[in-house]
Each structure stands twice: as structure tokens, then as C-alpha cells.
Amino acid sequence: MSKHVALTWLLIITLTICLLSGCQRKVHTTSRTDEVLGTIVSATVNGSMDEATLSSALDAAFLKAFELENIFSAHTLDSELAKVNESAYAAPVRISDALYTVLELSLYYAELSDGAFDPTLFDLIKLWGIGTEDAAIPDAKRLKNYVNRHNYKNVILDKSNQTVAFTNNEFSLDLGAIAKGYVADEMKRVLEEEYNIESAMLNLGGDIVTIGNKTDGSSWNIGIANPNNPTSSIASIEISNQTIVTSGNYERFFEEDGVLYHHILDGSTGYPANNGLIGTTIITDAAVIADALSTATYVSGLEASMALIESLDNVEAIFITNEGEILMTSGITEKVNILDSE
């Protein structure tokens, strides 16, 4: 028997043994849930590596999330953001790479959305207290006073020194509409780059980030909550390796005299945004962009938001109007299933 024939036989025998014994490596799945930035974060990773390695991957991703929470939380006094709010008017403050990146993106999307997304609304947000026990309709005069104080143009970044400065002390920063997206992207990066994870889904309070596909190779099928009945889905959408971020009036709110006051504020009026949309969903590659745009489009309303998203490459959106009508950008129609929803 020639060497070539012997090798061919060896290969056939090995393959047969493999097939009979199921040599396809078993896929393991591990999950973890924790609270980050006031949101329940759950993550599921799949891979042929052992479960201990998958757990380590999840631990590393959550560690990164907790590290970032210490930077971005506006409400904890010792966060990096709180320190900036304290001292950026007195003198420029040198900031971390993560905070600089998110602030730079915030100012970019504030400009792009004509101030609909505005990272300088913290005082107004605190005045309403939505999501806290003290949530209440503010006194109209006080509210009016606050409306004139915020303006993202008063935040000055200096790239070469990596600093931030405020041109007056009448406002402070809140990155609650974008930081969660950044955290989601960073968790994904840790899983991919440090642990070679090729299949995962992260859910940060309804903001979804995926890596690759499901273990059977098919796309992830993600439900979009019905704002009028958030435990049921109004539509579902197929994605691979992408992110879906939703802003809705049902996430944090209080009710008074039958009126719902939710947590996304319109800086131009000082009141919860009320421009015809009750749910906005953005589908793209980076959650930080999706997060900024979901908030921006919620505030801007249907017409301006449809035009904005259609003008952006590789970004799609689904909008739900006050009347419950579902509208979407042209690039996503084939991937969306409208569901029967009560």
C-alpha cells in the first residue's frame, strides 16, 4: 500500500470514528444576570470551550461594566462624571478615555439631532426626579428657569489634553441616554477580543447586543415591546451580530391625573417629550450610537427622525406612534415581523 493510500484510509477511519462518536465539539451555554447603572443586565454566551472558561468570560465582561459604572453614574457622588460636574466650570478636567469618547459622541449626536439628544439636562432630570421616589410635576416657574440653562454647546472638549470644561456653571451632565450603549459595546468587545466568543446575547434592560448568531447558525429573533403593553411584543426582528436599542415611555414614568410623565425629556419645553412617538428602536452595529439615536429620535418626532435615520448609513429604525402605528426605515422592512399584539 502506497503512503498516499495509507494516509487516505487513516483519514476515512478517523472521520468515521468522529461521526459515530459525535466528534463535533459540544457547545456549552452560560448565563449571568446582575445590576449595572440601575438596569438589570443579563448575558448569555455560547461556545465550544468549557463552562468555566465561559463563566470567566462573563465575569470579565461584567467587571468591565462595573468599572464603567464608576465612571458614568451621574447619581453616585464619587463617579468620574460627578467629579466633572463638580469642577469643570472652575478649570478644565482631565478625563478617562471612556468618558472622553462618550462625551465626544454625545456632543456629535446632540449637534446631529439639533439638541433633541442633549447631555446637559441633568438639573432638569433631577427636578423631575422620574424613576425616583420623589418624582413629581415641577413648579412651572422653576421649570421655565431650568429650561434656559442647558445647552450642549457649553461643553468644551480639548482632544490634545483630553479635558472637558464648562463655559458656565448653570448646568451639569447626565449621560443616561448613551452610557448604557457604551457599556454594552465594551462588554461585547471583552467577550470577543479577550475570550474569542463567537455567539452571545447581552440584554441591558431591553437594549440588546448580539455576537454572531445563535448556536444553530440562525439569526437572533428579538421582540420589540409594545409601549402600551410592554410585556408583549409588537414586532420581532432578525439580527446577526448587531444591536437593537429601544427608548420607550414605559421604561420609567409616573402618572398623575391620568397623564403619563416619562423619563425622556424635551429640552426645549422642559417636559417629557411628546412629539407623536411612544417607542423608538434603532438597529445598527454599535450600541452607543443606537442608544444616542433612540433617545434623539424619541424627542424629535416621526418626520424629522425618519429623515435623520434614512440619511445615515447602516442605521435603521422602527417608530411607534401615539396611535400605535408602526413605521420603519426602508432598509429594515424585510427583517421585521409585525405581531398581533393586544
Q: Smallest distance, Å, CB 175 to Mg ion?
A: 10
Please report, as a single letter, which amino acid is at residue 129: G
φ, ψ of residue 123 to 5 degrees: the values are -65, -40
Helix axes 51-72, 179-189, angle to 10 degrees: 150
Q: Which of 165, 153, 155 is closest to 93 using CA atoms?
A: 165
d(CA 54, CA 197): 8
d(CA 128, CA 146): 11
Residues in contact with Mg ion, counted by CB under 5 A, come to a total of: 4
Cell of residue 81, nine digits: 462624571
Residues 279-318 that bind ligand ADP (CB under 6 A): 291, 294-295, 299
Single out the residue of 99, 177, 211, 328 in contact with Mg ion (rule: CB under 5 A): 177
d(CA 196, CA 154): 41
Q: Which residues pair with 44 in a beta bridge?
A: 31, 201
Q: What is the largest CA-CA distance in the chain?
A: 97
Single out the residue of 41, 43, 82, 177 in contact with ligand ADP (rule: CB under 6 A): 177
Q: Which does 264 bind (CB under 5 to 8 A by kind): ligand ADP, Mg ion, none?
A: ligand ADP
State yes or no: residue 155 binds ligand ADP (CB under 6 A): no
Assess contact for 79 and 86: CB atoms under 8 A.
no
Interaction mask 181-200, ligand ADP, x per CB under 6 A: --------------------
Cβ proximity to Mg ion: between 203 and 294 the closer is 294
State yes or no: residue 176 binds ligand ADP (CB under 6 A): yes
Residues 279-318 that bind Mg ion (CB under 5 A): 291, 294-295
Q: Which does 176 bind (CB under 5 to 8 A by kind): Mg ion, ligand ADP, none?
A: ligand ADP
Q: Smallest distance, Å, CB 126 to ligand ADP?
A: 9
φ, ψ of residue 243 to 5 degrees: the values are -130, 145
Q: Which does 299 bind (CB under 5 to 8 A by kind): Mg ion, ligand ADP, none?
A: ligand ADP
Q: Which DSSP category does 227 fall into?
A: T
State yes or no: residue 249 binds ligand ADP (CB under 6 A): no
Q: Nearest to ligand ADP by Cβ — which residue?
A: 176
Helix or strand holding residue 241 (H, E): none
CB atoms within 10 A of CB 223: 17
Cβ proximity to ligand ADP: between 107 and 165 the closer is 107
Cβ proximity to Mg ion: between 195 and 298 the closer is 298
Q: Nearest to Mg ion by Cβ — which residue?
A: 295
d(CA 165, CA 87): 8
Q: Smallest distance, Å, CB 280 to ligand ADP?
A: 8
The 10 Å CB-count burial string (b at 16+, else e) for 165-184 is: bbeeebbbbbbbbbbbbbbb
Helix or strand holding residue 246 (H, E): strand 243-248
State yes or no: residue 117 binds ligand ADP (CB under 6 A): yes
State yes or no: residue 263 binds ligand ADP (CB under 6 A): yes
Summarize as ranges the residues that interact with ligand ADP (CB under 6 A).
117-119, 121, 125, 174, 176-177, 180, 247, 251-252, 263-265, 267, 291, 294-295, 299
Binding site for Mg ion (CB under 5 A): 177, 291, 294-295
